[in-house]
Structure formats: C-alpha cells, structure tokens
Amino acid sequence: MTDTTIRLSRKKPDTFDGDLLIYTPFLNNKEKIIRGPNVVEQELDDAISIGDFKGKQGDTLLFYPSGSAKKKLNVSRVFIASLGNVEEKNNNKTRELLRKTGGLIATEARKTKSSHLGICLDNLLSSVGEDGVESLVEGILLGDYRFEKYKSKSSKKEKRSFKGIKEIVGFSSGSENNGKIEKGISRAVNSARAACKARDMANEPGNGWTPTSFAVYARELAGKHKMTCTVLGKGGMKRLKMGGLLGVNQGSSEPPKLVILEYKAPKKKADTILFVGKGLTFDSGGVSLKPSAGMQDMKYDMCGGAAALSAMSVVGAEQPDVNVIAIIPATDNMGGSSALKPGDIIKHYGGITSEIVNTDAEGRLILADSLAYGIKRYKPTCVVDLATLTGAVILGLGHHRTGILGNNQGLIDRVIRAGDKSGEPLWQLPLDEEYTEQIESDVADIKNTGGRPAGTITAAAYLQKFVGNTPWVHLDIAGTAWDFTKKSYIPKGPSGIAVRTLVELVRDWKKFS
C-alpha cells in the first residue's frame, strides 16, 4: 500500500492545485441533488440535463475545468461521485456505501494517474458525518492497493508511471469537528494498512512467505509497539507434544513455527481475547494430493494467520483497554517421504488422539494444538480462530459470507456485529452434537474428517474438542479470503478478510460476561 499522507485544510477547495478534486453530492428526500460548491454547478447541470448524471448511488462524473470553471479552479480534474440517498449517518449500510465510494475514487485516481487528491468535506460531513469520512478514507486506501513486488522495473514502466495515491487533502471550513475527523482518519489508516499488509502476505509466493516470515514480522511488531513476541520451533513443539503441528510438518523441509504475539492493556484486570490464525504457507494436500488445477492458490492458505497478525498491528498502535494475544501455527503441508499418511494416528497437545483419514484436512490439526495450548497457557476470556479451513463453506455460502460457528452465542453475536460494521458479513452455522458423531473414530479419540456432508461444521466440531468451556468462535474464511464479493475497494486475489472485523471487535469491546 502506498504511504499516503492525509491532512486537513481550512482553505477553500477551489484553491487546490493537485491532480483530482472530489465532490460527493447526495439526494435529499425529494430526490433532489444537493450540490457541492458553485464552481461545479454549471458542469453538473449540463450532465443532469442530458441524463448523464442522476445522483443515484454510484453515479460519477469526471470533467476538466474550462471556461469560467477554469478561472475559479486551480485543479486539473474534478471528479463527482454521488452518494445517492443517505438514510442514516451511522449505520452499516452507509458505512459500506462510503467505502465503495472511496473505492470508486481510488479507481478514478488510477485511471487518471492522479497522485494528489483533494476532497470537499463540508458537503460530505453534512450528509454522513465524521464516521462517514472515516469510511470514505478507508475505502480509498483499500482501493488503492496493488502488489507489484515481483514485477521487473521495465514491466512496471511499460504499464504505467502511476505509483499510487501520495496525498489526500480534506477541505473542511469549520474547525470544531476537525479533532473528531482526524481521529477517524487515523483509525481508517490503521485498519486499511493492516488489511493491505495481510493482502501482501497472501500475495507472496510459498517460497517468499514462509513460517519464518511470520516470526520475523511478529518480532518487528513487538519491537515497534512494545508487545511481547515468543516463537516456538520444532524443539519446543516436541517438548509440548504438539502432534498436530509436527505431523503436518513431517513432509516438509521448511521448519514449523508457533508464533505468539502478546499485547497487555494498561488497565488491570482487563479481559483477554485470544486470536488463533491458520498459517499454512502452502498446502499441497500432502499424501492426499490436491488436483494440480488451481493449486497455485494454495499459497493463500495462510490468510487466517495473516489476518490475526495484521490486526495486532492496529492493537499495538491504538493501545485498547483489553489484552489481546495472537497465535499463528505456521508450516506448509508437503508430501515428502516422511509425510503423514492416511491411517496414521497422532497425539495432540493435551493428549487427544486423532486418526488421520485425509492429510488434506490439515488446518484443523495445527489449530487444535494452538487452541489447546493457548487456552491452557493464557486462560483467555474468549477465543476467536480463523482459517481457510474447508471448501465446503464455499458450496454453502459462496464467496459472499464467512461461515461462523461457536459455543457462545454472546460472542458469536459480537463478532457478527463487528463483521457487519466492517463490510465483512458472516453467517452462523449450527454446531449440534449430531455433527460431532461424524468425527468419532474406531481406533482413536477422533478422526480428522467426517466426510463430505456438513464438512464445514464437522471441521468446527473437531476444533471444539480443544476449547473446553472457554467462549469460542470459529471463522471459516475459505470462501472470502480470496475471490471475495466484487467491490470497488476489494482487489482481485486476496481480500484481507477478517482483519477489519477483528479490529472492530477490539475497538468496540465491552467487558465480557
């Protein structure tokens, strides 16, 4: 993500001499367009009169000031993006509308190679308030994302000279609300940068982002934000008898890591939230080999770990009044000569034995050890795990919603609210005892797959064996971590899903009971 500078100005927008000046008109209750400054009125009237602009949500207009407008404006281009009807200032629908509008602005900036943007905030504030500015900025930054690390310089030069949005200037005539606006912008920058970092991790190839990379980034965050980082290697896992993580790693030449990052709140007796994110840096399926078609996307199997660790960057920056711990079990799943075989039996941390029916059902094995260890070691108030765990969730929910399951309805509801606020919707699936019966084994305590029926639910039932009575929620992000619902601020490929959901969960945290 471009390192964008964002600042507020009390000057008039017509003084802006950058690349692109943005206005966001909206419709009132009578479907009348509430305009921005008079300098764009004639151009807007002309577009309305010929039917090119109706003020509906998503309507846009780009023009190059000339004639009388040129005398009043110093900017090269003007972009008008309508908000349509805004029913309420602070609801989730409006937040999502603003993020999408921000994505449209980022798209237009890319098309016109505009690096320096100005936004008229007075009209925006009157329709959506300070929270709306936060969502708009978040959408712009998320929409400005690109991953070009491995493109040669000549390839980049041939495609374009545009290097992203460098500056955003928000023009606000009043100063009474600027403190709130600046706080919202700061939150938007933190959450967008974290989501874009998760996208970067996922876009890295399997030979570019390894278990060691998770450890290096966690240590970097710990040093920057005064958090505590602990990394367990294979020796530590053996001492703890983490048979799941060690078993999945058996066929690999790349050593596994269990990465733990801890933030302690300044407030004593604060709740503790534990995040556990699947860090499978490449999944071949092991001996139960995946089909070759599409296997290149299995570098994305670490998106849960990427989300958990990226969310910690916001936790460190914002210092909330709740303790937060992230655990990322990291390995790849390869079919080497020592790899797990169907029929093998492993023993998890804590003693539960598992029959391996399918080596491609590996995510639950590494999460199980991490959940059991994290709960025993840190005694958290609650746990949220997230993983690209099952293809079955795509069959059930497509690429539009993350599957959510758990043992505590209060916690489930909190996570769903956080997801709705973030534009990352979730859908609850049942987790009744009947599903647990599907993973009973004749030769071990449990088996690692219950077959194709209810595959997402039986995977969660496996994890439930390792959480006891601790309030716990499981997010299956296999359908949303990439190929997520097409939106103006979501790129093709990794979406950075769940980062902003976790961030909102922490930001809005109230004492859990």
Token pair recorded at residue 296: 């290149």
Question: Taking each helix axis from N to C terminus, what angle separates 303-318 and 211-225, rounded to the nearest 10 degrees?
Answer: 10
Token pair recorded at residue 411: 């916690």
pLDDT over 90 at 38, yes or no = no
pLDDT in tens, 451-464: 999 999 999 999 99
What pLDDT shows up at residue 1?
60
Q: Mention every residue, 6+ apart, whose C-beta is less than 8 A from residue 100.
A: 58, 139, 487, 488, 489
What is d(CA 120, CA 395) in angstroms, rounded to the nearest whole number?
Answer: 44
Percent of the chain with pLDDT over 90: 82
pLDDT over 60 at 158, yes or no = no
What is d(CA 78, CA 64) in angstroms, rounded to the nearest whole number?
Answer: 6
pLDDT over 70 at 426, yes or no = yes
Q: Mention every residue, 6+ apart, whose C-beta is less than 8 A from residue 263.
A: 225, 227, 312, 315, 316, 323, 324, 325
pLDDT in tens, 280-307: 999 999 999 999 999 999 999 999 999 9
Q: Which residues are catalytic?
A: 290, 364
What is d(CA 239, CA 133) in angstroms, rounded to the nearest whole number?
Answer: 51
The strand ranges marked E within 58-177 are 60-63, 77-81, 116-120, 167-171
More confident residue, 128 or 358: 358
pLDDT over 80 at 436, yes or no = yes
Exposure b/e, 123-150, CB count within 10 A at least 16 = b: bbbebbbbbbbbbbbbbbbbbbbbbeee
Burial degree of 188 (CB within 10 A; 0-12, 13-18, 19+): buried
3-state secondary structure of 84: coil
Measured CA distances, 172 to 51, 119, 120, 130, 168 (Å): 31, 9, 7, 11, 13
The kind and range of the H/E element at 471 are none
What is the 3 state secondary structure string of 348-416?
Answer: CCCCCEEECCCCCCCHHHHHHHHHHHHHHHHCCCEEEEEECCCCHHHHHHCCCCEEEEECCHHHHHHHH
pLDDT over 60 at 157, yes or no = no
Q: Bridge partners of 385?
A: 276, 474
Name the nearest CA neighbour of 208 among 291, 335, 293, 296: 296
pLDDT over 60 at 156, yes or no = no
User: What pTM does this model have?
Assistant: 0.96
Token pair recorded at residue 142: 């998320």
What is d(CA 194, CA 125) in angstroms, rounded to the nearest whole number?
Answer: 26
Q: What domains can you pick out in the chain, each with its CATH number?
A: 5-174 (3.40.220.10), 196-507 (3.40.630.10)
Mean pLDDT of 305-320: 98
What pLDDT shows up at residue 37?
62
Span of 41-50, 257-266, 490-499 with lowest mean pLDDT = 41-50
What is d(CA 505, CA 498) in angstroms, rounded to the nearest whole number?
Answer: 10
What pLDDT shows up at residue 273?
98
Span of 66-70, 143-147, 367-371, 384-388 with lowest mean pLDDT = 66-70
3-state secondary structure of 227: coil
What pLDDT shows up at residue 127?
84
What pLDDT shows up at residue 33?
80
pLDDT over 60 at 66, yes or no = yes
pLDDT in tens, 253-274: 999 999 999 999 998 899 999 9
C-alpha 130, offset from chain centre: 22
What is d(CA 37, CA 123) in angstroms, rounded to the nearest whole number?
Answer: 9
Burial degree of 102 (CB within 10 A; 0-12, 13-18, 19+): buried
What is d(CA 440, CA 401) in angstroms, rounded to the nearest whole number?
Answer: 29
At 159, is the pLDDT very low, low, confident or very high (cuts 50, 70, 90)? Answer: low
pLDDT, the chain, mean: 94
Alpha helices in 269-329 (DSSP H): 303-318
Mean pLDDT of 396-406: 98
DSSP code, position 170: E
What pLDDT shows up at residue 39?
67
What is d(CA 504, CA 219) in angstroms, rounded to the nearest whole number?
Answer: 24
* Contact of 23 with 125, CB cutoff 8 Å: no
At 46, is the pLDDT very low, low, confident or very high (cuts 50, 70, 90)? Answer: confident
At 175, is the pLDDT very low, low, confident or very high (cuts 50, 70, 90)? Answer: low
pLDDT over 60 at 390, yes or no = yes
Within 10 A of 47 (CB to CB), how many other CB atoms are there? 17
DSSP characters over 491-505: -SSB--TTHHHHHHH
pLDDT over 90 at 149, yes or no = yes
C-alpha 16, offset from chain centre: 33
Mean pLDDT of 36-44: 72
pLDDT in tens, 206-240: 999 999 999 999 999 999 999 999 999 999 999 99
